Amino acid sequence: MNDSSKPINPHELDDAELVDLTRNGKTRAYDELVRRHSRKLHAMLYQMIGSEADAYDIAQESFLKAYNSLHYFNGKSTFYTWLYSIAANQARNFLRRRKRENSYSIDNDEHGDALEKDVRLADTSITSDPARQAYISDLKAKLGKALGSLSEKHREVVTLFDIQGMSYAEIAAILHISEGTLRSRLHYAHKQLQGMLSDEVS
């Protein structure tokens, strides 16, 4: 049996190869792209909008939109950068709709309340000390509240850089901004967070 007759294993291919196969009608290839990126994409969206269910829905919408728009993907960026750009735009549209729908509310802090319950950072089960675990849980709640108080554009750069661990270049490509603008937004966001959390992290 020669190599050309061997069945294709999507798990062994990189994203670019999976995109090419998807364009050629191999839907299993796109299934692998979804499996590969869904968890991280969902986490990013959750941090941006503060709702598990809505983050799941927007993630699914983003994967579908990306699938239907693959003919526009030119390969100048990585697939996941392109996908995250689509998802970030979907999240912004969702937040704008939610803001309009909740404009009648005098004190709408839904995002901060949601994030206060669960901030997805590093593993917080790093200690068996109940007092330490309680401290970490409390700190996560305060950080979630602080993140929820940031503006949309500042929350998204903190999410991508500090929580998702993306590079300046990747984030700039996702958000369609210059690295200088990104650094400026991060500096401002970090300064805001530092001010809000200074008592808790000192």
Domains of the chain: 9-107 (1.10.1740.10), 109-202 (1.10.10.10)
Average pLDDT over residues 86-104: 86
The pTM is what?
A: 0.73
- pLDDT of residue 126 exceeding 60, the answer is no
Looking at residue 76, its pLDDT comes to 86
Residues 6+ apart with CB under 8 A from 63: 33, 34, 38, 41, 83
pLDDT over threshold 70, residue 119: no
Q: Which residue has the higher pLDDT, 4 or 68?
A: 68
Q: What is the mean pLDDT of the chain?
A: 82
Q: Evaluate if residue 37 carries a pLDDT over 90.
A: yes
Residue among 30, 52, 33 nearest 43 (CA): 52
